[in-house]
Amino acid sequence: TDRKKLHTAPVGQVFRLRPFHVLVATGGGYAGYRKYEDYKLEQLEKRGIEVPVKLASEWEVALYKSVPTRLLSRAWGRLNQVELPTWLRKPVYSLYIWTFGVNMKEAAVEDLHHYRNLSEFFRRKLKPQARPVCGVHSVISPSDGKILNFGQVKNCEVEQVKGVTYSLESFLGPRISTEEMHFNRAPPGNSFQQQLVTKEGNELYHCVIYLAPGDYHCFHSPTDWTVSHRRHFPGSLMSVNPGVARWIKELFCHNERVVLTGDWKHGFFSLTAVGATNVGSIRIYFDQDLHTNSPSYSKGSYNDFSFISNNNKEGIPMRKGEHLGEFNLGSTIVLIFEAPKDFKFNLKAGQKIRFGEALGSL
């Protein structure tokens, strides 16, 4: 008679999975996987071991491109804009911070409850003093990230990572008409690379910066220059992390990207924002007509827009360090520019860099 009653429930109710449980389990598993992958790469870098290049075959690339990454990225973008309950914000953002090593002490607003959704958290602003802009060197890093590659452009080929190249012309698209540029065009018989170099004795240089999901997601002007033209390639939205960049040749030419071209004091200058999986949104602050990852645009085409008009003969002037645009999540910035032969990069491949730090100078 002293026994207590035991209340039972059907087995189906006891083990029924709820969406929140699935979210926590999936997020936790992915976080652990990312930590393990980062640990392996760190160990290889510390030991000075280079990961051997193993390129994907044509059928592997075709299979990857068949995945509806553009549709998935649009869905992810809508999910990111869903307002989270106040009580859920801190655990969700804390998991993201732990997974990708986000430094919230640099954020203008450190309180996690302030960010209503994931999109606001991704696009968080920094404290003004967090990124001092180098005033000594002529070219600074436009963003936080990791240096994948840099150097001179040779034989119309650019390295996306060491040993893996892509075509300069495929990446930038056909040469822009001379009416939209401030400088004279090279003779048409020259190679595409030679046509970009406008001053005798200059060379063409490139630098590739990978933005990880935990990095600051805005990008800025890397130097004082004038933007004359924008070219938008709809493209695919494959991952651009260093592992995939080593695996797929011409990855940056496959993916959606926004190419800004113009000139600086030494001639041709371009900045390209390359999209990636879940980065369907590339925003350029002064370009309200740009709409990336739109279903109205088909792959394999490109859309041009000139900032030079009857009312604006010069284009869009940009000062070094000025806000230029932003990504959702993380992606890649590619700089391709003309400079004298004595231009030197102050970099090492694989190093971490922050917006405002020097890339190189004369």
Q: Which residue, chain included where needed, has tokens 């600074």?
A: 140
Say whether 267 sits in a helix, a strand or coil: strand
Q: How far, in Å, CA of 220 to CA of 243, rounded?
A: 26
| 144 is annotated as an active-site residue | yes
Report the chain's terminal Cα–Cα distance, integer Å: 92
Count helices and strands (H / E) in the chain. 10, 17
- CA 124-126-127 angle, to 5 degrees, is 140
| 331 is annotated as an active-site residue | yes
Residue 211 and residue 330 in contact, taking contact as beta carbons nearer than 8 Å: yes
- In the chain, the amino acid numbered 43 is Q
Catalytic residue among 119, 141, 144, 221: 144
Catalytic residue among 137, 220, 232, 266: 220
- In the chain, the amino acid numbered 91 is P
Q: Which two tokens stand for residue 178?
A: 């001379």
Q: How far, in Å, CA of 115 to CA of 91, rounded?
A: 12
| 296 is annotated as an active-site residue | no
CA nearest 130: which of 116, 112, 110, 113? Answer: 110
In sequence order, what are the residues at sequence separation of 6 or more whose Cβ sits closer than 8 angstroms to the Cβ of residue 263?
181, 182, 183, 198, 225, 226, 228, 269
- Go through the chain and tell me how many residues it has: 362
Q: Which two tokens stand for residue 153?
A: 């452009």
Q: How far, in Å, CA of 124 to CA of 258, rounded?
A: 22
- In the chain, the amino acid numbered 71 is L
Known catalytic residues?
Answer: 144, 220, 331
